[in-house]
């Protein structure tokens, strides 16, 4: 089983004729995703290969059942694209775009939630349910169907962890890149709740990083609400305080968001923390073989 997406998911691509949108739309189709339509304002009636292009999301919605949309539009238009998708009641809105102004995304976040919809991102790689569906930019060939969920704030670390899981025989149910910005649509806890409810996910890898307190909140959720094996990793453990490291949310400020606090929170919740990504599979196998919930 998987969470959020499967082989029946119909996908819309916003920004489908742009450089990134067209490249990744083709990759998603090649990887087996059901991309049913694309949107670029002013280009209604065109096609990208066999993908029909519409001028607005609402036009595409009239002709197709759309379960999810993925947004590749430039940062200055991304929040408006999110709101357009929400106005069309698309259940799952995945925003790949990075550099979106925080205030604009905060407003878009609340708008999406007010309509009972879900957003993933921005500044994220998307998600993959191996053997079923890929939405976003993750390299599909490194994934393998299985029962390990992956949640990550980092795109490239997701790929490294998935590669190591696959090479050691641990396939994945769904891998989610939630994004590294200060305001994101789906949190660690949101994703953990979904994996906890999925009967075919046996364990979850949580890939965190410095900055904020989302990892500490996730650790408390795991401690009190989960009965599945969870393994953690915290990136940026050598980052100097006060210096942003790659992601807009990855900054230690005022003594909060430190790697030490995150590691301590994980370990206090019974979550073993790998020092290197390639240690994760062994830690997960040990948890699963021991039958430990945490």
The region of weakest confidence among 171-180, 209-218, 268-277 is 209-218
Does 233 have pLDDT greater than 90?
yes
In a domain, residue 232? The reply is yes
* 20 in a structural domain: yes
Domain enclosing residue 194, as ranges: 143-290
| 41 and 92, same domain (yes or no) | yes
Residue 271 domain-assigned (yes or no): yes
Are 188 and 94 in a shared domain?
A: no
Would 238 be classed as within a structural domain? yes
Longest CA–CA separation in the chain, Å: 58
**Average pLDDT score over residue span 78-84:** 98
Burial call 5-35: b when 16+ CB within 10 Å, e when fewer: beeebbbbbbbbbbeebbebbbbbbebebbb
Task: Say if residue 162 is in the same domain as residue 243.
Answer: yes
Instruction: Please indicate, yes or no, if residue 216 is contained in any of the structural domains.
Output: yes
CB atoms closer than 10 angstroms to residue 53: 20
Give per-residue pLDDT as tens, 17-34: 999 999 999 999 999 999
Residue range 122-143, pLDDT digits in tens: 999 999 999 999 999 999 999 9
CA distances from 224 to 29, 149, 217, 269, 293 (A): 40, 19, 11, 9, 11
Can you give the pLDDT at residue 66? 98
Q: What is the pLDDT of residues 113-124, one digit of tens each?
A: 999 999 999 999
Which CATH number goes with the domain that contains 263?
A: 3.40.50.261
Better-scored residue on pLDDT, 102 or 251: 102
Torsion on CA atoms 275, 131, 147, 172, rounded to nearest 10: 10
Does one domain contain both 161 and 213?
yes
Pair 80, 207 in one domain: no
If asked whether residues 178 and 260 sit together in one domain, one would say: yes
CATH number (domain holding residue 101): 3.40.50.720
pLDDT digits (tens, 9 = 90+) for 242-253: 555 554 444 444
Assign 154 a pLDDT band (cuts: 50, 70, 90): confident
pLDDT number for residue 9: 98
Q: Could you tell me if residue 125 is inside a domain? A: no
Residues 104 and 165 in one domain: no
pTM for the complete prediction?
Answer: 0.93
* Cβ-contact 1, 114 below 8 angstroms: no
Do 42 and 147 fall within a single domain? no
**Tokens representing residue 89 in the block:** 């009641």
Each residue's pLDDT tens digit, 179-210: 989 999 999 999 999 999 999 999 999 999 88
Alpha-carbon distance of 87 to 163, in angstroms, equals 37
Report yes or no: 155 and 130 within 8 Å, Cβ to Cβ.
no
Res. 145 pLDDT band, cuts 50 70 90: very high
Residues recognised as catalytic: 247
135: in domain: no
CA atoms of 52 and 35, how far apart (whole Å) = 10
Would you place residue 211 in the very low, low, confident or very high pLDDT band (cuts 50, 70, 90)? confident
Phi, psi for 20 (deg, rounded to 5): -75, -45
What domain count does the chain have? 2
């Amino acid at each position: 089983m998987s969470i959020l997406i499967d082989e029946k998911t119909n996908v819309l691509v916003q920004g489908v004729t742009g450089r990134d949108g067209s490249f990744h739309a083709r990759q998603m189709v090649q990887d087996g995703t059901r991309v049913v339509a694309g949107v670029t304002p002013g280009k209604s009636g065109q096609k990208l290969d066999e993908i029909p292009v519409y001028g607005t999301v609402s036009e595409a919605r009239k002709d197709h059942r759309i379960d999810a949309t993925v947004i590749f539009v430039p940062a200055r238009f991304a929040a408006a694209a999110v709101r357009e998708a929400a106005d069309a009641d698309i259940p799952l809105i995945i925003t790949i775009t990075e550099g979106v102004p925080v205030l604009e995304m905060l407003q878009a976040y609340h708008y999406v939630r007010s309509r009972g919809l879900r957003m993933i991102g921005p500044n994220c790689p998307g998600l993959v349910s191996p053997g079923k569906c890929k939405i976003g930019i993750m390299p599909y060939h490194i994934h393998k169907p299985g029962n390990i969920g992956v949640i990550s704030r980092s795109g490239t670390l997701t790929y490294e962890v998935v590669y190591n899981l696959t090479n050691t025989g641990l396939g994945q149910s769904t891998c989610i890149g939630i994004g590294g910005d200060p305001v994101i649509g789906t949190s660690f806890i949101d994703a953990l709740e979904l994996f906890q409810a999925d009967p075919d996910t046996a364990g979850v890898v949580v890939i965190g990083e410095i900055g904020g307190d989302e990892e500490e909140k996730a650790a408390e959720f795991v401690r009190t609400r989960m009965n599945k094996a969870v393994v953690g990793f915290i990136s940026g453990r050598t980052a100097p305080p006060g210096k942003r490291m790659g992601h807009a949310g990855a900054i230690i400020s005022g003594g909060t968001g430190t790697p030490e606090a995150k590691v301590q929170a994980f370990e206090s919740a019974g979550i073993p923390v790998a020092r290197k990504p390639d240690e994760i599979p062994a830690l997960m196998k040990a948890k699963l073989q021991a039958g430990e919930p945490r």
